[in-house]
Structure 1
Amino acid sequence: MAVTLAASSGAATAATAQQERMKTCNADAAAKSLKGDERKAFMSTCLSDKAAAQPAKPVTAQQEKMKKCNAEAAGKTGEDRKAFMSSCLKG
């Protein structure tokens, strides 16, 4: 029973996101006065735009630390780099 409820609420959320995208794309197409094949092509591109559909995930503190340590370890290799990275990521 709980599985059915969770699945249906997830589907409702996905449908809502798709509906919002459809609403936005329709408004954009209307603002550009698109008709016929031109509108169809625009809507297809607009609705399938995955980058706009999913916002970028914020970088975590651990990812920032890894980026900083990697930059500092640029000239190091082998065991020297491994030891440096270990201490850098812990500190």
Structure 2
Amino acid sequence: MKMLTVPALVLGLLISAPGVAATAQQEKMKSCNADATGQSLKGDARKTFMSQCLKAKPATQQDKMKTCNADASGKALKGDERKAYMSSCLKKK
């Protein structure tokens, strides 16, 4: 009986592993898509951004700060609006 339990457990782990990897890729796709939408990118600019975003390594906090700061400046945000935007931007994964 024990002999059948171990292969069944291994098989179950192998079958469930691709689902976990797909979820991480899906999360990255969601994040990149949201960023592209937030920047109002369309056409070739969006394709280029998405390609680079999906290939990119996870951003460090300093990289995130630079990106969020540039986006806030591009949107001409000031005062409380800028603080709120920066807070939400930096909390994104």
Report the TM-score, using the length of structure 1 for normalisation: 0.52
In structure 1, C-alpha distance between the alignment counterparts of 2:11 and 2:46, rounded to whole Å: 38
User: Which residue of 1 is the match for residue 22 of structure 2?
Assistant: 15
List gaps (5 residues or longer) in structure 2: 1-7, 60-93
Counterpart of 1:88?
none
Alignment of 1:7-86 (within 5 A): 7-49=14-56, 51-52=57-58
TM-score scaled to structure 2, two decimals?
0.51
The Cα RMSD (Å) is 1.5
- Identity percentage of aligned residues: 56
Q: Which aligned segments of 4 or more residues in structure 1 are displaced greater than 2 angstroms?
A: 1-4
Q: Which runs of 5+ in 1 are unaligned?
A: 54-91
Using CA pairs below 8 Å that are at least 6 residues apart, which structure has the higher relative contact order? 2
Aligned residues: 52
Give the aligned residue type for 2:48. Answer: A
1:3 deviates by 2.6
Larger Rg: 1
